[in-house]
Structures are given as C-alpha cells and as structure tokens.
Amino acid sequence: MIRRIVVMTQLHRWLNWLLPGLFFLIWLGVCETGIAPPYLLPHPKNVLATASSYIFGDAAPSAFAGRFCADVTASGVRVLLGFGLAVAAGIPLGVLSGRLALVNRLLSTTINALRAVPGISWLPLAMVWFGIGIKTTVFLVALAAFFPVYLNAEAGARQVNPTLLQAGAMMGVRRLRGTFAILLPAAMPNIITGLRLGLGISWAYLVLGELTGVPNGLGALIMDARMLGRIDIIVVGIIMIALIGRLCDVGLHQLLCISFKSARRMS
Amino acid sequence: MKPRLEIVSTDRQTTASPVVLDVDQVSKRFSFAGSGGISVLEEIGFRVRRGELICILGPSGCGKSTLLKILAGFMPPSTGAVRLNGKPAGRPGPERCVVFQEDALFAWLTVRENIAFGLRGRAMTRREKERAVDRFLSLVGLADFADYLPAEISGGMKQRVSLARVLILRPEILLMDEPFAALDAQTREEMQDLLLRLWSELSHTIVFVTHDVGEAALLADRVLLFDRAPGRIKEEIRITLARPRGKTEADYYALCRSITAKIKAL
C-alpha cells in the first residue's frame, strides 16, 4: 500500500515530463532510422551541439556562437516592457469595465473590434510608425497581450458575487478600499488566467516583432538561421522559446502567489 | 385549547427600552421598462426596541428579504423611511450588520482574518484587535478552526464565522436573512441555540427573517406575519413564552399550530 503511494507520487512528479520525453524519443527515432533526412529535421545530437555552442560559445568561429545571453536579454526586455504595458492598461480598464456599465459601454465595441484584427496585420503599420527595432516589437507585444489581460480582468470583476461587496459595505468598507480588499482578491483567479495567457502571447508576438530585421533576440535568431539555411539553429530557437516561455509562466505564478494571499489561497 | 399567546414576559422587559429601528410606512415598487412594475412591499411600519428579537415570517416571495435589504441600506425604499435611533439610516454601515443566507465570507481570508476584517481601520491597537477576535472565535466555538479557510469548513461553521464577523463590530441592530435556511436540521438547531445564547449574553437587537414557523416561534419576542405578495404586515404576534422554549412542550406546539393556521389562512 505504502509502496503504491510512493510509486504514485513519483509518477505524479515526473508526469509532466512524459510528453516532452516521448517527443524526444520520436524525434530520435525518425532521425536514427532515416525517415526524416537531416535537411528537414536535424539529429538531436547535432541540435544539442549547436545549442551548446549557441549558449556557451566555442572555439570554432560561427555566426551564432555565444549569442544566447545577448538574445535572451534583448528578447526578455522586450517581452517585459510589452507585457508590462499590457498589464498596466489591461487590469485597470478591465476591472472598471467589469464594474461600471458606462465604461463597459464606452470600451466594449472598440476593444472587441480591435481584438478581431490579427496581430500580424499591425506589423506593417508598426514598422511605418516605429521603424525597425525595439519599439515595434514592444508595441506588438503590448497590443497582443492587452486583450486576454483586459477580457479576463473584466470577466472577473463582473462575476464577483455582489453579496461580497454588500458584506464589505456593511462592515464599513468604502469604494476605494473595497476595490483592493474585496474586488481584486475576488477576481484574482480570472486575473491570473488573463496574465498567464497574456504572457504566453507576449512570447508569440515577440518572435513576430523580431522577424523584421532587428539584430538580436530569439526571433531574430530564428530569422537569421532561416536565411542561412541553418535548420538546427531554428530548432534550438524554438526549444529555447518553449523553455523560457514555460519558465516565465511558472515564475509569474510563483510571483503572484508570493505577492497576494488571494492568488495563494484560491488557485 | 386556545394557545396562550399573551403570557407575561419573564425573561426580558423590552417595552420600556428605547426604539432602535423605526420603519415608517416603507413601500417598494420595482419598475420594468414596458411592463409597468410590481409592488413588492406596501406600507410596512413597525418599531424595534433595544434588545428585542423580531422575526419577520412569511411565505417565499412576500418581500421579506427585500425589506431586509432596505433596512440594511443596500437599496432605498420607493416611499417611506427607515430611521436608526431617530436619524435617517442612509448608506450601509457597521451599525446595521447583515448575516446573509448564502455564504458571503471572503474565500481568500482565514476564519480569523474574516472575523477581523471589519476591524481594519478602527482605532484599536493590534493587541486589542487580536483579543477581540479571539473572544468572538471562542464565543462561536471556532477557536480550533481559526486558521482554516472558508472552503475547508462546513456550512454551519461558515455561518458561525458570518455571525462572529458582524457581532465583533457591535452593531446597533443585527439583520439576519434566513441565515440558517440552507443548513441541515441538526446544525440549524445548534445555530438557533447559539444565537439565543449570544443574544442573552450580548443583548443585541435582532431582526430575523425566516419562512420557518418553528424557528420564529422558538426565537422571537414578536413575529411580524407577512401577507403574500405584495408584502404587508398581516398580523403582529407577541410571544411571551419563557425561554428556553422547549420544542417538545405543549405551549410551544400550540403556538406553532396557531401561527401555521394563520399562514394557511393568508
């Protein structure tokens, strides 16, 4: 019995690595057997070597050796700025729109219309407006991340049980304090969902923004590699973005749990 | 046997106490675009004296919860006025506290933090607040559950927390909106006993809304019997049975039967 519990907890701990492991084995399999030729899908061991050279640099001079730190820093700053702008606008506007019919009426048509425009259609316009570089990327990231943050904050604020607000009012809580002591904590599960979706989308649009000729960043890396026909670098870039994206998601969740009781206790 | 509804009160003399709550000809209409409107309450008038426990008893849909919302200040009456200690009662505040029927606790706060919530911003030291919370935790019998979250305790315990978090604010009047209706029979009885015990210890003034005849007969000094919609006070029944009222005693049964008969006649 006890052994079974131990096995179950072990299984539970490693379960999230099952699918990545499986993908890796399939990848290894199709390369080893020659089902996929190297110019379509590079062998894992080559990708590993490229990744090591990309991260740590190496003796053999290569366009990509040792670029990792600069790329991640550049991309991280862009994501942070864009996502930060989206949060700074999305949460206050979303909460206001969820609680005040007037604000909702004012914003909902415009925001839902803009939401229907695919982010990529903004790219040419952003390049005209902001030129090639960090501003375009930050603009695209902020724009894309805004919608999930806003919409979830709005839904969260709207769905707060009115009895909770009445309970606050009767205990002498006025509007402003009620917003921070009751409304935001009660809407926290939705707000967290919005933030996590927003951060995920930030990474997606980061790559889009960096495809346009900036010299550094993970998107630029992938684009440069495509032009040089270095498919192994593309794979490295994709894996890097997946890892960093997942890491950011975990980090964001941890940060929220450390900062807010409501995040810690209701999700 | 004719039920003895007018037994001289032995446990509490409230007729000489000052009036705390004065409900003066309160009416409420809800209007809807297109279809006119419906009248929910018509000219409700009654007074509650300090230390009294009043039950508002009526069939569902008679507007008794609406009245409680008006008394709490959550919505204004269409006509009429509510006065607290002679002054118009305006916005909701800690002088008129509500125990809701549904769970209205803050899910992200522990039992202790929920009870302490209304004390934030009060001119008390941290020590005083902690002592007050400890006192009310043990008054409602939750001292061992202080650090639990609402999701981790039973429905009866949640209502104990709801009670403690408002009693700690020492409200002028306690408004209770079918607070025990969602509980199982045994828990409900425990909560009724607890309420009566707290009431005799802290002498609160209570307006208690219920649709349960037995509950009204067990708790109330006076029962305001509401008519079917639109809500009107059909009859005021003064109950002078000595407390504790045994649920098995003949007087109590006779009282319940007589009130039930009045409700059927509505």
Beta bridge partner(s), residue B30? B38
- Extract the tokens encoding B216: 């009204």
For B160-180, the pLDDT digits (tens) are 999 999 999 999 999 999 999
Q: How many residues does chain B have?
A: 266
Among B107, B121, B169, beta carbon nearest to A266: B107
Q: Establish if A180 touches chain B: CB-CB under 8 angstroms.
A: no
Nearest chain B Cα distance for residue A73, angstroms: 36
What pTM does this model have? 0.85
Q: Establish if B123 touches chain A: CB-CB under 8 angstroms.
A: no
Answer for the pair B216, B55: CB distance below 8 angstroms, yes or no: yes
Name the more confident of B250 and B247: B250
Q: Which residues of B touch A182 (CB under 8 A)?
A: 106
Nearest chain B Cα distance for residue A156, angstroms: 15
* Closest residue on chain B to A172 (Cα): B93
For B82-93, the pLDDT digits (tens) are 999 999 988 999
Q: ipTM of the predicted structure?
A: 0.86
CA B155 to CA A204: how far, in whole Å?
45
Q: What is the pLDDT of residue A9?
A: 81
Among A167, A182, A262, beta carbon nearest to B100: A167
Residue A83: which H helix or E strand, with range?
A: helix A68-99
Residues 6+ apart with CB under 8 A from B51: B12, B14, B17, B203, B204, B205
Q: What is the pLDDT of residue A192?
A: 96
* Closest residue on chain A to B162 (Cα): A167
Q: Which residues of B touch A175 (CB under 8 A)?
A: none
Helix axis angle for A134-159 and A101-115, nearest 10°, is 140
Q: What is the pLDDT of residue A132?
A: 81
Whether residues B72 and A167 touch (CB distance < 8 A) is answered with no
Residue A206: closest CA among A38, A77, A43: A77
Terminal Cα-to-Cα distance of chain B (whole angstroms):
22
**Chain B interface mutation, best of A170, A174, A179, A190, highest count of B Cβ atoms under 10 Å:** A170
Mark the ranges of chain A whose per-residue pLDDT is less than 50.
none
Q: pLDDT band at B1, cuts 50/70/90?
A: very low
CA A59 to CA A63: how far, in whole Å?
12
Q: What is the pLDDT of residue B234?
A: 87
User: Is pLDDT above 70 for B115?
Assistant: yes
What is the DSSP pairing of strand B87-88 with strand B79-84?
A: antiparallel
User: Is pLDDT above 80 for B7?
Assistant: no
For B180-221, the pLDDT digits (tens) are 998 999 999 999 999 999 998 888 899 999 999 999 999 999
Average pLDDT for B128-140 = 95
Q: pLDDT band at B11, cuts 50/70/90?
A: very low
Per-residue burial over A168-178, b = 16 or more CB atoms within 10 Å of its CB, e = otherwise: bbbbbbeeeeb
* Closest residue on chain A to B117 (Cα): A171
Q: What is the pLDDT of residue A211?
A: 79
Cis, bond preceding B244 (omega within 30 deg of 0): yes
For A150-167, the pLDDT digits (tens) are 999 999 999 999 999 999
* Average of per-residue pLDDT values in chain B: 89
Q: What is the pLDDT of residue A251?
A: 95
Residues 6+ apart with CB under 8 A from B35: none
Q: CA of A242: how far to CAs of A33, A201, A218, A238, A246, in Å?
A: 26, 12, 11, 6, 6
DSSP notation for A142-173: HHHHHHHHHHHHHHHHHHS-HHHHHHHHHTT-
